[in-house]
Amino acid sequence: MSMAVPKILVAEDSTKLRTYIAENLENAGYTALEAPSGEKAFDVLKNEYVDLVLLDLNLGDMNGMEILKTIRRQDEFLPVIIVSSITSHESKLTGFSTGCDDYITKPFYIDELLARVQRMLKKAAAANRPGTPLDETITSGPFTLNLGTMRVTKNETPVVLRKKLFSLFLYFIKNPGLVLSNSVLFSQVWDPAEEVNENSLYVHIRQLRALVEDNPDQPKFIKTVRNAGYRYTPEP
């Protein structure tokens, strides 16, 4: 059984250190995506499915903590390891309270970094996709969803969906032709502890349409049913 190679975003403004980390990740069997700035990091996250982020706190154009906050607003499960020269207890507490999964201080041993990356990827796979074979897929119309890797293709072209959008799209695909009310989507896609309302659902629907529809303003797959909810049609 073939397994997708994990993609790791290395957000680090030091060219020398970023290249060093990326080369070692590649040698360890991962795909490394480099970002020298916060803007580039967000560009990568928008266009690639990333399995883990190595995040420096001083990226020049953006503060790493603000980047972490933005990542967490979009995906609460994406593993993020802060790699920083800031060694203070306060910075570590802020990092963990903001949502990082691990915090490594510079300088570091590269084998320790690789060990933490491996551990975090295994932990994320077990927590987010329990009992799901890595090659189990669902096909609906032009879309194929891999339930193990959470990767999506449309007519064999990759579509990058973060975890919540993936879960929302998967629920639509599992219920083709049915009108799904807001309350049903709230209960089936969101955890009871999560705060969600009609406005946030609309934002998620709009984001999903922007990624899967040919023309988001005239959706063919995910249509609004007035005063009732939304309906997914696999063959427009």
Q: What is the per-residue pLDDT across 100-141, written as a single tens digit (0 to 9) for each?
A: 999 999 999 999 999 999 998 888 766 654 444 556 789 999
Q: Is 1 inside a domain boundary?
A: no
Do residue 187 and residue 222 come from a single domain?
A: yes
Q: Is 118 left (phi over 0), alpha (psi -120 to 50) or beta?
A: alpha
pTM: 0.63
The rounded distance, in Å, linking the Cα atoms of 168 and 33 is 27
77 lies in the same domain as 155 = no
Same domain for 121 and 156?
no
The mean predicted confidence, pLDDT, of the chain is: 88
Q: Among 128, 150, 165, which residue terminates a domain?
A: 128
Q: Name the token pair of 39.
A: 């803007």
pLDDT digits (tens, 9 = 90+) for 204-235: 999 999 999 999 999 999 999 999 999 999 98
Residue 143 zone, left/alpha/beta (φ > 0; ψ -120 to 50; rest): beta
For tokens 């994990």, what's the residue? 6
User: What is the bridge-based pairing of β-strands 102-105 and 80-84?
Assistant: parallel
Question: Do 98 and 119 fall into the same domain?
Answer: yes
Q: Is 24 found in the same domain as 124?
A: yes
Flag whether 212 is in a domain: yes
The boundaries of the domain holding residue 155 are 137-232
Q: Are residues 212 and 168 in the same domain?
A: yes
* Residue 48 resides in a domain: yes
What is the total count of domains within the chain? 2
